[in-house]
Chains A and B, each alone.
Chain A
Amino acid sequence: MSNEFEPIIIAFCCNWCSYTGADLAGVSRLQYPPNIRIIRVMCSGMVHPNLVIDALTKGADGVLICGCHHGDCHYLEGNLKAESRADAIGLMLEDFGLEPERFRLEWISASEGPKFAQVMQEMTMAIKQIGPSSFRTF
């Protein structure tokens, strides 16, 4: 095995859009880096900011929250709540001395398999560029 830095990235995906988009990427055999660990949540608006910060301070190299596009939220506007929290998370990252690239919010619909693969690719590349998290102990 090579010694290249392999980041661990956690992606919270909403059940209705993004998780389904991930499934479509699978069904379509779209290849993306194996660094993503998906956690299924019912809505992007369910993800507590502490969960993101905890993940990053426990050594995750990146965290994604993926939800439905505006207007498509299964729960009316949970995604909008996630969006407003994302700003707060961005500010918290600064407090912890974490690079802003380590957290991303993305809208991926159930039919956007290619977009899912592309976002995962981009996120992995971005994290590889900035290197391991300073909180990483392993």
Chain B
Amino acid sequence: MVEFTINGQRVQAEKDTVVLEAASAMGIRIPTLCNHKALEPYGGCRLCMVEINAGGRRRVVASCLYPVAEGIEVITDSSRILKIRGHILELLLAREPESPVLKDIAREMGLVQTRFKTNSALKNGKCILCGKCVRVCHEIMGVGAIGFVNRGWRRHVDVPFEIRSEVCMGCGACEKVCPTGAINAAILCDQEIRKIPDEYDMGLRPRSAAYILYPQAIPRKATIDSCNCVHLNTGKCRVCEKFCDAGAINFKQQEEKIDIDVGAIILAQGSDGFKANIRGEYGYGRYRNVITSLELERILSASGPFEGHLQRLSDGKQPKKIAWIQCVGSRDRNKGNPYCSAVCCTYAVKEAIIAKEHAAEPIETTIFYMDMRIYGKRFEEYYNKARDEYGVCFIHSRVAEVREIEESKDLILRYEDENNVKEETFDMVVLSVGLVPTEGSKELAGRLGVELNEYGFCKTSDFTPSATNIHGIYVAGTFKEPRDIPETVMQASSAAAEAGILLAEARGSLVTHKEYPAEIDVKGQEPRIGVFVCRCGINIAGVVDVPGVAKYASSLPGVVCVEEKIYVCSQDSQGLIKEKIREHNLNRVVVASCTPRTHEKLFQDTIREAGLNKYLFEMANIRDQCSWVHQNEPEAATRKAKDLVRMAVAKVRLTESLYPGLLKIKQGGLVIVGGLSGMTAALTLADAGFKVYLVERETELGGVFRRIKYSLDGTNDPQQKLRELVERIRQHENICLYTNTVISSVEGSIGNFISTLSSNGKDETIEHGIIIVANGASELKPTEYLYGQDKRVMTQIELEERMADLTTVTPANAVASMTQLELEERAADSRQLSGVRSVVMIQCVWSRQPDRVYCSRICCQQAVKNALKLKEINPELEVYVLYRDIRTYGFKEAYYQKAREKGVIFIRYSTDNKPIVSLNNGGLSVDVIEPLLDVSLKITPDLLVLSSPIVPDNQEMSKLLRVPLGPSGFLLEAHMKLKPVEFATEGIYLCGLAHRPKTRDESISQAQAAASRAATILSKNELELDPALSFVVDANCDGCAYCVDPCPYKAITMVEYMRDGAVKKTVRVDEAKCKGCGVCMATCPKKGIYVRHFKLEMLSAMVEAALQQN
């Protein structure tokens, strides 16, 4: 190390450091154009001139070449230097007066314009001859494709003899380093720069060979793409190494093979988008403004290539009229896949809405569809909103062809509408591409012996939706079947549940606990604060004057120790922090570096290792909020950094040691009602080794599932499965079954529930740690279409029962509970079925309309299943299905196609002209208008089957458990996508039809998922509660109860007690329910309740500190 001064300040630097580097490390800015960290010093632009006094000899040198030496004085801003720099800049400006870089420097130096004339004969005018491009090509890339040509004012960068170079490898380094954008490799070298497409942005922008996968990647670490890295391919370059101050670049890293012993495997490799160019008639790949839905997704994203601005790829202009074409690669036997991709209709509606929101000027959006399959929870409402509020236009037609208009790059769509061929022009077309198995999935499945279905997805069965054919290998996500986020999240938990059962014995055996020293009691001590300021290489120090901030920090009240480090997060710095805590008896620590979101845990762990409570800590974010966002304002950034440190110190002074509460968990779970979901959840928990109380209000288990006689694929007998499930429940040693029982009360919270069960007038109290609600639902009894007035009108489930009776109901095998009269009635019903020649089914009965908005999701498949069964009983029978959209999503599409092949006739109707059912001479008569053909049809069926929706019955359960209901009366989960089986109230989970209509395999998945989430609680003996929760200051609380209702978790209750002979009202916080959001704190007028670690006085102290001047 050598010691010297810069502008009078004493500094130290490594020997051989040049003056420019040493000054920049101190935050002193010296202008330069030719200097580059990866290149040898060059001294080309001369802008970095400084004055040196070495042993009394004063001279002017280029700071990028001059090495520091012991005792020298460096002056960077003397009037002499400023004058020299001014001259040089004027000469440069004369070459290129409009260069933005030069103009910026001129503005900084207060120079208005150059006195010299510009020579109009100059070649490649933008060039300022800094030589970076020439040097990078030669020195770094070892190519030397370009060089300087001529002398004096004719000097310029070119290829030798002006012959286009063949040695150029198209790496683009010359363009990258050029400060003025003068270099164009395509012209000089006849070589397009090889752009590496950013996979995350669907190739819409390039990335480097050293890159971070995407902003939210975990871990958020850079990787080197060995196919595109110049060094790994030619042995040259190594520029990234010079820029990485942490020394993290390792070119020798090799692929490693790691053996791991596991007890179960979960396959979740997802799916890919369909390759849109296969549908050549839509012009993807040929027409710039035809894009895929995934590309639009990136365009609309705030972190995408255009920062969320909606624009066309051909010209960057905002489109005015966008068309979406649905089913590209889906429901397409010719060029794509026969199955439905299940998610595209919903995402197209979403994209149309977001595009409208992002567009600066109003835009028209049109979706061309076959059936709008928007069947998820609350999706129908969303679809209606898109149409009615946002004005998204929906056209029921398959687009035949897309053509480009050459000049404008607009697109003409040809499609058929109401029997006419129409053409319409759009300026952007989005192809809603379907999902296909990933490329490697076939090979992986082959290696594991996992069976795939005919489409290349993982084969599963209805009753074990997450299990593959190999015991111990499970599947989650879209590798099983195309599906949306809530469905994949549920299934992921379901696969985890299956694995959890298999690993029940080994649970917890690989967990190790870290030991910490006993904590120092800091109560009552004056704050002794240590501040650690990070340079983050040059990320902070390059802009912020870090020594200045450190010096300032030491002047703040309570600060007894300040350290400055190049990386405070490095291993050795953790040692330093611990050492300083001991040396100075620190009782509070502040780190001024980056964001607490990524680094708070690390530092908290460090201070714990030195015996301090982790809450005696605060961070000042002087990188993300300072150096990175005020790069051109070093002084202001430094002032702000000081302010941020002062604010952090102000808060940390007031922090207190906090200790997590420990909550003993009562073992056992309560599962409410024993339908298919309840039974599955109970068995999943019980198989994983947990005690279960299964409570059913009826005599028999099974719920609505008892009425299901057939499966869609016809491979298994649901009633046989039901008998097996009931038998397993009755035999299971971990399950206490209560039938004919209702729950009269539930008290307590997560880990500690106490419930009262009532059966035949007798009460029993049970204690349990969690609750799973599987309240079920039922098929609505319609009130229209002559239902209840004519025996020939029935619901889909009733039809299913009659078809089953036709083959099974004889007095000999009658169900024991059925009376003779019932038996005769049902036998008569099924005889009625045997003489039938024609059946009409009406879909969406009393659903998808204003007074019951939701789509019941399963009725379309139910109709297809029953239609197929009818055709099986009597192939001559005529079956008509009157529908609005056939929603046989996913692989169920195959049965819809099969039904059509078997001759089932599907007729669309619109809500404006609903079918009319009447009696005509004692016979049923159905009139329907087909909207596309606009013809009226009359059918006289023998039977009319109504697809009636699933309706919930959750009112009482909602009151009993204090859990919310959605607008349609279904149970409302904590988060539609990310927490689909949890309630906001911890410890209570939901599944099955009470949540929304769903298929059998979806019910099973969700039940397993609920059990899986519940097991995360039951698998522990104690639960650690985050201590940063609400705390009542009884002395201040006057019991006004303002905070009770706003609490989103219903964690606050009013209490009264006797104090000094009078009733004192106050509130109490249930810490098991509270999450520390602080809504109560902000509501309280009396400072009667606060959130620990975010006390009002802490926030006030930060405000006050922010308003002080440094």
A interface vs B, CB < 8 Å? 1, 6, 8, 10, 12, 15, 19-20, 22-34, 36-43, 45-51, 54-55, 58-60, 74-78, 81-82, 85, 109, 111-115, 117, 138
Q: In whole Å, how far is A71's beta carbon from the nearest beta carbon of chain B?
A: 9
Contact in complex: B1106, A60 (CB < 8 Å):
yes
Prevailing SS type, chain A contact patch: mixed
Stretch at the interface among B118-126, B185-193, B573-581, B631-639: B631-639
Task: Name the residue on B nearest A55 (C-beta).
Answer: B1103
Q: How far is the CA of A48 from the CA of B1078 in the complex (A)?
A: 9
Q: Are B1094 and A27 within 8 A (Cβ)?
A: no
Q: Is A78's CB under 8 angstroms from B1077's CB?
A: yes
Identity of the chain B residue whose Cβ is nearest the Cβ of A20 in the assembled complex:
B597
Q: Are A60 and B1103 in contact (CB under 8 A)?
A: yes
Q: Is the CB of B1106 within 8 A of A46?
A: no
Assess A46 versus B1077: contact at CB under 8 Å? Given A10-B1106, A23-B624, A31-B632.
yes
Q: Which of A12, A46, A111, A115 contacts B1091 (CB 8 A)?
A: A46
The distance in angstroms between the C-alpha atoms of A20 and B621, with both chains bound, is 12
5 A-B pairs closest in CB distance: A46-B1078, A26-B624, A75-B1077, A34-B636, A76-B1048
Tell whether, in the assembled complex, residue A76 and residue B984 are in contact, meaning their CB atoms are under 8 Å apart.
yes
26 inter-chain pairs at a CB distance below 8 angstroms, sorted by A residue, are A10-B1103, A10-B1106, A23-B624, A26-B625, A26-B629, A31-B629, A37-B640, A41-B1094, A42-B1078, A42-B1091, A45-B1077, A45-B1082, A46-B1082, A46-B1094, A51-B1100, A54-B1100, A59-B1107, A60-B1103, A74-B1077, A76-B984, A77-B1048, A78-B1048, A78-B1079, A81-B1046, A81-B1082, A109-B302
Let me know if B1076 is at the binding interface, CB within 8 A.
Answer: yes
Q: Chain A residues with Cβ under 8 A from B596's Cβ?
A: 40
Let me know if B1094 and A34 touch, CB within 8 A. Answer: no
Chain B 1074-1090 per-residue mask, 1 if CB under 8 angstroms from chain A, else 0: 01111101111000000
Known contacts A43-B1078, A48-B1082; A114/B625 CB under 8 A: no
Q: For the complex, give the distance between the alpha carbons of A54 and B1096 in Å.
A: 12
- The reply on B301 being an interface residue by CB < 8 A is yes
The answer on a CB contact under 8 Å between A45 and B1078 is yes
Partner of B1081, one of A48, A54, A76, A115: A48
* A/B pair count, beta carbons within 8 Å: 147
Q: How many angstroms between the C-alpha atoms of A55 and B1107 in the bound complex?
A: 8
In this assembly, does B308 line the interface, its C-beta being within 8 Å of a C-beta of chain A? yes
Set of chain B residues within 8 Å of A28, measured between Cβ atoms: 303
Contact with A along B208-235 (1 / 0, CB 8 A): 0000000100000000000000000000
Contact among B303, B1096, B1103, B1109 for A39, CB-based, below 8 A: B1103
Tell me the minimal C-beta distance from A47 to chain B in angstroms.
6
Contact size range, B: 35 or more
**Which B residues have a C-beta under 8 Å from some C-beta of A?**
215, 301-303, 307-308, 595-597, 621, 623-626, 628-633, 635-637, 639-640, 643-644, 647, 974, 984, 1028, 1046, 1048-1049, 1075-1079, 1081-1084, 1091, 1094, 1096, 1099-1100, 1102-1104, 1106-1107, 1109
When the two chains form their complex, are residues A46 and B308 in contact, meaning their CB atoms are under 8 A apart?
A: no
Enumerate chain A residues within 8 angstroms of B625, measured Cβ to Cβ. Answer: 22, 26, 36, 38
CB-defined contacts of A41 to chain B, threshold 8 Å: 1078, 1094, 1099
B629/A30 in contact, CB under 8 A: yes
* Contact partner, A81, options B215, B303, B1079, B1102, Cβ 8 Å: B1079
Whether the Cβ atoms of A34 and B637 lie closer than 8 Å is: yes
Considering the chains assembled together, what is the distance between the CA atoms of A25 and B669 in angstroms?
A: 45
Contact, CB under 8 Å: B1079 / A54: no
CB distance from A57 to the nearest CB of B (A): 11
**Given contacts A38-B621, A54-B1100, are A49 and B303 in contact (CB under 8 A)?**
no
Output the residue of B595, B623, B635, B639 with the most chain A CB within 10 A.
Answer: B595
Bound-state CA distance A29–B1107 (Å) is 26
User: A74 CA to B979 CA in the complex, in Å?
Assistant: 12
Q: Which residues of B are found within 8 Å of A37, using beta-carbon distances?
A: 640, 643-644, 647, 1106
Q: Which of B621, B640, B1077 contacts A43 (CB 8 A)?
A: B1077
CB distance from B419 to the nearest CB of A (A): 43
Residues of chain B within 8 A of A22, CB atoms compared: 624-625
Task: State whether A114 touches B307 (Cβ < 8 A).
Answer: yes
Contacts of A60 in B (CB 8 A): 1103, 1106-1107
Give 16 A-B pairs besides A29-B631, A31-B632, A48-B1084 with Cβ atoms closer than 8 angstroms.
A1-B635, A8-B1106, A23-B595, A24-B303, A25-B624, A34-B630, A37-B647, A38-B621, A45-B1079, A47-B1082, A55-B1103, A60-B1106, A76-B1048, A113-B302, A113-B303, A114-B307
